[in-house]
Structures are given as C-alpha cells and as structure tokens.
C-alpha cells in the first residue's frame, strides 16, 4: 500500500496532490523524521504516475528541507520536515485546508461527515493498539 494517495479525478495537478499528501503525512506524524521514503520508481508504480512527477516532487521537498536524499541509499524525511509546522497558526491553517479538502472529497464520494468521523475514529483506535 502506498504511503500516500492521489485522485486522478481531482483537477489539482498530480505533482501538487503528491506534494501536499507527503507534507500532510509528515505534518500529521504518519511519516516521522528519519523514515525512508519509497524510491521514485517504487512510488510512481504504486501510484500509477510518471516517475518524473515523483522525482519533481522529491526534488522540491528536498529544496524545502522537508526530505533529504542520500546518494546510493535513498530519500528520508528530514529533521526539517516537522519544522514547517512550527507556528501554531500555520499548522492550524494547513489543517483547516486539509480538512476542507477531505470533506469535499467525502461529499463528492457520497459520504456524510458522520461516516467520515466514525471511520477516522476506527483508524485512530486501530493505530493506538
């Protein structure tokens, strides 16, 4: 299973969806500093996207000090990956945007807010065991 997902029906460009998803995974703690990311090729195959798209996102995240690439070893979530969530205001703003996007996707898929919250609660319970 891929560490992130993209929606080919979304009008947002795939590279933007992928970058946003990786940043969200880091900001929410799903990916921790030091975690190794899939190779460009692995993630491209899993998401069924062009490898150049994944490489572009990895390069952008590396320039932003969110990830670091060690030649011959791979790409890892950098210590600076959590730094982008430094300010509480910025983090709250990003969380609101994430929630808005998630709820609009849920509505488009025919799910109610209560159904989404129930599913999130189940995931939280599973993760705590």
94 and 79 together in one domain: no
Give the residue numbers spanning the domain of 36. Answer: 1-84
Checking if the pLDDT of 36 tops 90, the result is yes
Residues 2 and 60 in one domain: yes
Flag the least confident range among 1-10, 36-45, 57-66: 1-10
Domain co-membership, 50 together with 103: no
Whether 126 and 65 share a structural domain? no
Contact by Cβ (8 Å): 106, 113:
yes
Lowest mean per-residue pLDDT among 26-30, 39-43, 52-56, 79-83: 79-83
Statement to judge: residues 98 and 77 lie in one domain: no
Show Cβ contacts of residue 60 under 8 Å, excluding neighbours closer than 6 positions. 19
Domain boundary among 69, 84, 99: 84
Contact 67, 61 (CB under 8 A): yes
Looking at the structure, tell me whether residues 14 and 26 fall in a common domain. yes
pLDDT of 84 strictly over 70: no
How confident is the model at residue 86, as a pLDDT? 52
- Cα separation, 102 vs 108, whole angstroms: 10
Three-state secondary structure call for residue 38? coil
49 and 97 in a single domain? The answer is no
- Distance from C-alpha of 19 to C-alpha of 41, rounded to nearest angstrom: 16
Same domain, 8 and 61: yes
The segment with the largest mean pLDDT, out of 69-83, 95-109, 114-128, is 95-109
Q: What is the pTM of this model?
A: 0.63
Question: Which residue, 20, 9, 127, 21, is CA-closest to 119?
Answer: 127
Percent of the chain with pLDDT over 90: 49
How far, in Å, CA of 39 to CA of 44, rounded? 8
- Count the domains in the chain: 2
Token pair of 88 as six digits: 């509480």
Q: What confidence score (pLDDT) does residue 8 get?
A: 87
Do 15 and 53 belong together in one domain? yes
Residues 4 and 34 in one domain: yes
């Amino acid at each position: 299973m891929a560490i992130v997902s993209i929606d080919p029906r979304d009008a947002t460009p795939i590279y933007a969806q992928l970058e946003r998803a990786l940043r969200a995974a880091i900001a929410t703690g799903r990916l921790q500093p030091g975690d190794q990311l899939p190779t460009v090729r692995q993630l491209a195959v899993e998401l069924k996207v062009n490898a150049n798209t994944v490489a572009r996102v990895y390069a952008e995240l590396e320039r932003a000090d969110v990830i670091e690439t060690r030649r011959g070893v791979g790409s890892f979530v950098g210590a600076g990956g959590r730094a982008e969530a430094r300010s509480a205001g910025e983090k709250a703003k990003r969380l609101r945007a994430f929630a808005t996007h998630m709820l609009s996707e849920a509505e488009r898929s025919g799910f109610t807010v209560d159904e989404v919250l129930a599913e999130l609660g189940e995931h939280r319970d599973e993760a705590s065991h």
